[in-house]
Amino acid sequence: MVPVHVVIVGCGRVGSGLAIGLVEQGHSVSIIDKASRAFRRLPADWPGTSIVGSGFDRDDLDRAGAKQAGALAAVTSGDNSNILTARIARENYGIHNVVARIYDPRRAEIYQRLGIPTVATVTWTIEQVMHRLLPSAVVGEWSDPSGQLVLVERVLPETWAGKALRDLGMPGKVNVVAVTRAGTPRLEVKDLVGQEGDVLHLAVLKDAVGELERRLDGGEGPHGWSASGPAGAAGSVGSAP
Protein backbone atom coordinates (compact mmCIF):
# COMPACT_ATOMS: atom_id res chain seq x y z
CA MET A 1 0.00 0.00 0.00
CA VAL A 2 1.35 3.41 -0.98
CA PRO A 3 1.61 5.71 2.08
CA VAL A 4 -0.73 8.72 1.99
CA HIS A 5 -1.29 11.74 4.17
CA VAL A 6 -4.53 11.49 6.15
CA VAL A 7 -6.34 14.24 8.02
CA ILE A 8 -8.52 13.15 10.94
CA VAL A 9 -10.98 15.58 12.51
CA GLY A 10 -11.92 14.56 16.03
CA CYS A 11 -9.59 12.94 18.55
CA GLY A 12 -12.11 10.86 20.47
CA ARG A 13 -11.88 7.10 20.78
CA VAL A 14 -12.51 6.57 17.06
CA GLY A 15 -10.26 9.37 15.85
CA SER A 16 -7.34 8.51 18.12
CA GLY A 17 -7.67 4.83 17.22
CA LEU A 18 -7.58 5.68 13.52
CA ALA A 19 -4.60 7.97 14.00
CA ILE A 20 -2.58 5.34 15.84
CA GLY A 21 -3.50 2.57 13.41
CA LEU A 22 -2.75 4.62 10.29
CA VAL A 23 0.67 5.68 11.54
CA GLU A 24 1.47 2.06 12.35
CA GLN A 25 0.66 1.23 8.71
CA GLY A 26 3.18 3.80 7.50
CA HIS A 27 0.89 6.71 6.66
CA SER A 28 1.40 10.31 7.78
CA VAL A 29 -1.43 11.71 9.90
CA SER A 30 -2.60 15.11 11.12
CA ILE A 31 -5.40 15.16 13.67
CA ILE A 32 -7.55 18.18 14.52
CA ASP A 33 -9.62 18.66 17.67
CA LYS A 34 -11.07 21.75 19.30
CA ALA A 35 -9.90 20.59 22.76
CA SER A 36 -6.18 20.15 23.41
CA ARG A 37 -6.88 17.65 26.20
CA ALA A 38 -8.29 15.24 23.58
CA PHE A 39 -4.75 14.56 22.37
CA ARG A 40 -4.04 12.75 25.65
CA ARG A 41 -5.53 9.72 23.94
CA LEU A 42 -2.50 9.61 21.66
CA PRO A 43 0.78 8.00 22.77
CA ALA A 44 3.46 10.40 23.98
CA ASP A 45 5.72 9.30 21.12
CA TRP A 46 3.01 9.47 18.43
CA PRO A 47 4.79 10.95 15.38
CA GLY A 48 1.83 12.69 13.73
CA THR A 49 0.70 16.32 13.90
CA SER A 50 -1.85 17.49 16.47
CA ILE A 51 -3.73 20.71 15.79
CA VAL A 52 -6.14 22.52 18.09
CA GLY A 53 -8.82 23.83 15.78
CA SER A 54 -11.88 23.09 13.67
CA GLY A 55 -12.44 20.74 10.76
CA PHE A 56 -14.30 23.39 8.80
CA ASP A 57 -11.79 26.18 9.32
CA ARG A 58 -9.70 26.54 6.16
CA ASP A 59 -6.64 27.80 8.05
CA ASP A 60 -6.72 24.80 10.38
CA LEU A 61 -7.16 22.41 7.47
CA ASP A 62 -4.24 24.06 5.68
CA ARG A 63 -2.08 23.59 8.79
CA ALA A 64 -3.11 19.94 8.82
CA GLY A 65 -1.89 19.48 5.26
CA ALA A 66 -5.30 19.07 3.64
CA LYS A 67 -3.93 20.33 0.32
CA GLN A 68 -1.63 17.30 0.17
CA ALA A 69 -4.01 14.82 1.82
CA GLY A 70 -5.17 11.68 0.12
CA ALA A 71 -7.92 10.99 2.67
CA LEU A 72 -9.93 12.67 5.43
CA ALA A 73 -12.10 11.25 8.21
CA ALA A 74 -14.53 13.49 10.09
CA VAL A 75 -15.32 11.65 13.33
CA THR A 76 -16.29 14.30 15.87
CA SER A 77 -19.42 13.95 18.00
CA GLY A 78 -21.40 16.36 15.81
CA ASP A 79 -23.24 15.21 12.68
CA ASN A 80 -23.43 18.68 11.15
CA SER A 81 -19.76 19.39 11.78
CA ASN A 82 -18.73 16.08 10.24
CA ILE A 83 -20.81 16.60 7.12
CA LEU A 84 -19.61 20.17 6.68
CA THR A 85 -16.01 19.05 7.08
CA ALA A 86 -16.50 16.22 4.56
CA ARG A 87 -18.04 18.58 2.01
CA ILE A 88 -15.21 21.11 2.38
CA ALA A 89 -12.65 18.32 1.98
CA ARG A 90 -14.35 17.13 -1.20
CA GLU A 91 -15.33 20.42 -2.78
CA ASN A 92 -12.54 22.77 -1.74
CA TYR A 93 -9.55 20.47 -1.37
CA GLY A 94 -10.45 17.79 -3.90
CA ILE A 95 -9.87 14.96 -1.41
CA HIS A 96 -11.47 11.90 -2.95
CA ASN A 97 -11.40 9.47 -0.02
CA VAL A 98 -13.59 11.13 2.60
CA VAL A 99 -15.79 9.60 5.27
CA ALA A 100 -18.06 11.20 7.88
CA ARG A 101 -19.37 9.58 11.03
CA ILE A 102 -23.08 10.23 11.51
CA TYR A 103 -25.19 9.36 14.53
CA ASP A 104 -28.57 9.81 12.83
CA PRO A 105 -29.11 6.83 10.45
CA ARG A 106 -31.73 8.70 8.40
CA ARG A 107 -29.38 11.59 7.82
CA ALA A 108 -26.54 9.18 6.97
CA GLU A 109 -28.64 7.59 4.23
CA ILE A 110 -29.40 11.00 2.69
CA TYR A 111 -25.73 11.95 2.55
CA GLN A 112 -24.79 8.55 1.14
CA ARG A 113 -27.13 9.24 -1.75
CA LEU A 114 -25.43 12.59 -2.26
CA GLY A 115 -22.14 10.77 -2.65
CA ILE A 116 -20.64 11.50 0.77
CA PRO A 117 -19.57 8.20 2.36
CA THR A 118 -20.85 7.96 5.91
CA VAL A 119 -20.67 5.58 8.83
CA ALA A 120 -23.92 5.59 10.79
CA THR A 121 -22.79 4.75 14.32
CA VAL A 122 -26.22 3.77 15.62
CA THR A 123 -27.05 1.57 12.64
CA TRP A 124 -23.66 -0.13 12.73
CA THR A 125 -23.95 -0.85 16.45
CA ILE A 126 -27.48 -2.24 16.15
CA GLU A 127 -26.52 -4.50 13.26
CA GLN A 128 -23.43 -5.80 15.05
CA VAL A 129 -25.37 -6.53 18.26
CA MET A 130 -28.11 -8.28 16.29
CA HIS A 131 -25.47 -10.27 14.44
CA ARG A 132 -24.15 -11.54 17.78
CA LEU A 133 -27.63 -12.21 19.19
CA LEU A 134 -29.00 -13.85 16.03
CA PRO A 135 -26.06 -15.32 14.10
CA SER A 136 -28.43 -17.13 11.72
CA ALA A 137 -29.90 -13.85 10.48
CA VAL A 138 -28.78 -12.24 7.26
CA VAL A 139 -26.84 -9.16 8.35
CA GLY A 140 -25.70 -6.33 6.11
CA GLU A 141 -22.00 -5.56 6.52
CA TRP A 142 -21.80 -2.85 3.82
CA SER A 143 -24.09 -1.02 1.44
CA ASP A 144 -23.41 1.12 -1.61
CA PRO A 145 -24.31 4.84 -1.61
CA SER A 146 -27.75 4.10 -3.08
CA GLY A 147 -28.55 1.66 -0.29
CA GLN A 148 -29.77 -0.86 -2.87
CA LEU A 149 -26.76 -3.18 -2.91
CA VAL A 150 -25.60 -4.82 0.31
CA LEU A 151 -22.90 -7.27 1.29
CA VAL A 152 -24.24 -9.74 3.81
CA GLU A 153 -22.68 -12.38 6.01
CA ARG A 154 -24.43 -15.54 7.03
CA VAL A 155 -23.38 -18.78 8.71
CA LEU A 156 -24.30 -21.65 6.40
CA PRO A 157 -27.41 -23.44 7.71
CA GLU A 158 -26.91 -27.14 8.44
CA THR A 159 -29.45 -28.03 5.75
CA TRP A 160 -27.11 -26.62 3.09
CA ALA A 161 -24.14 -28.77 4.13
CA GLY A 162 -23.23 -31.04 1.21
CA LYS A 163 -24.98 -28.82 -1.36
CA ALA A 164 -23.31 -26.83 -4.13
CA LEU A 165 -22.91 -23.25 -2.91
CA ARG A 166 -23.28 -21.88 -6.44
CA ASP A 167 -26.97 -22.82 -6.21
CA LEU A 168 -27.44 -20.10 -3.60
CA GLY A 169 -26.98 -17.49 -6.28
CA MET A 170 -29.95 -15.84 -7.98
CA PRO A 171 -29.17 -14.18 -11.33
CA GLY A 172 -29.50 -10.43 -11.08
CA LYS A 173 -30.24 -10.61 -7.34
CA VAL A 174 -27.65 -12.59 -5.35
CA ASN A 175 -24.02 -13.55 -5.93
CA VAL A 176 -21.93 -15.68 -3.57
CA VAL A 177 -18.77 -13.56 -3.35
CA ALA A 178 -16.65 -15.60 -0.93
CA VAL A 179 -16.74 -18.28 1.75
CA THR A 180 -14.75 -18.29 4.97
CA ARG A 181 -13.98 -21.89 5.90
CA ALA A 182 -12.07 -22.80 9.07
CA GLY A 183 -10.96 -19.18 9.35
CA THR A 184 -9.64 -18.99 5.78
CA PRO A 185 -11.46 -16.87 3.15
CA ARG A 186 -11.92 -18.47 -0.25
CA LEU A 187 -12.89 -16.51 -3.36
CA GLU A 188 -13.22 -19.44 -5.76
CA VAL A 189 -16.66 -20.70 -4.75
CA LYS A 190 -18.28 -22.00 -7.92
CA ASP A 191 -17.16 -25.59 -7.29
CA LEU A 192 -17.40 -25.56 -3.49
CA VAL A 193 -19.78 -27.79 -1.59
CA GLY A 194 -21.10 -26.38 1.67
CA GLN A 195 -19.58 -27.54 4.94
CA GLU A 196 -20.82 -27.05 8.48
CA GLY A 197 -19.36 -23.85 9.91
CA ASP A 198 -18.94 -22.10 6.55
CA VAL A 199 -19.46 -18.33 6.67
CA LEU A 200 -21.00 -17.01 3.46
CA HIS A 201 -20.33 -13.55 2.05
CA LEU A 202 -22.95 -12.55 -0.49
CA ALA A 203 -23.69 -9.50 -2.64
CA VAL A 204 -27.45 -8.97 -2.58
CA LEU A 205 -29.89 -6.43 -3.93
CA LYS A 206 -31.72 -5.05 -0.91
CA ASP A 207 -35.12 -6.09 -2.25
CA ALA A 208 -33.92 -9.70 -2.52
CA VAL A 209 -32.69 -10.12 1.08
CA GLY A 210 -35.97 -11.72 2.17
CA GLU A 211 -35.84 -14.13 -0.76
CA LEU A 212 -32.28 -15.06 0.17
CA GLU A 213 -33.33 -15.74 3.77
CA ARG A 214 -36.09 -18.07 2.59
CA ARG A 215 -33.69 -19.94 0.33
CA LEU A 216 -31.09 -20.33 3.07
CA ASP A 217 -33.65 -21.49 5.57
CA GLY A 218 -35.08 -24.23 3.39
CA GLY A 219 -36.84 -22.45 0.54
CA GLU A 220 -37.10 -23.83 -2.97
CA GLY A 221 -33.79 -23.96 -4.80
CA PRO A 222 -33.21 -23.05 -8.46
CA HIS A 223 -33.42 -26.66 -9.66
CA GLY A 224 -36.65 -27.66 -8.01
CA TRP A 225 -35.25 -28.92 -4.74
CA SER A 226 -35.25 -27.53 -1.24
CA ALA A 227 -32.09 -26.99 0.73
CA SER A 228 -32.81 -30.23 2.57
CA GLY A 229 -32.86 -32.37 -0.57
CA PRO A 230 -34.57 -32.99 -3.93
CA ALA A 231 -38.23 -32.13 -4.00
CA GLY A 232 -40.29 -35.20 -3.19
CA ALA A 233 -37.23 -37.41 -2.58
CA ALA A 234 -37.80 -40.23 -0.14
CA GLY A 235 -36.09 -39.85 3.16
CA SER A 236 -35.28 -36.18 2.72
CA VAL A 237 -34.80 -34.24 5.92
CA GLY A 238 -37.27 -31.47 6.78
CA SER A 239 -36.29 -27.85 6.52
CA ALA A 240 -34.59 -26.15 9.39
CA PRO A 241 -36.90 -24.01 11.51
pLDDT band per the 50, 70, 90 thresholds, residue 227: very low
Higher pLDDT, 42 or 214: 42
Give the number of other CB atoms < 10 A from CB of residue 89.
Answer: 28
pTM of the model: 0.59
Q: Is the C-alpha dihedral spanning 114, 123, 39, 27 positive or negative?
A: negative
CATH code for the domain defined by 135-221: 3.30.70.1450
- Which residue ranges does the chain devote to CATH 3.30.70.1450? 135-221
Looking at residue 123, what is its pLDDT?
60
CATH architecture of 5-124: 3-Layer(aba) Sandwich (3.40)
Residue 232: pLDDT above 50?
no
Give pLDDT tens digits for 9-34. Answer: 999 988 999 999 999 989 999 999 99
Higher pLDDT, 185 or 69: 69
| C-alpha distance from residue 15 to each of 8, 51, 82, 120 (Å) | 6, 13, 12, 15
DSSP 21: H
How far is the C-alpha of 125 from the C-alpha of 17, rounded, in Å?
17
11 φ, ψ (degrees, to nearest 5): -110, 45
Q: What share of the chain is helix, strand, coil (3-state, %, to 5)?
A: 35, 25, 40
Would you call 197 helix, strand, or coil by DSSP? coil
pLDDT band per the 50, 70, 90 thresholds, residue 122: low
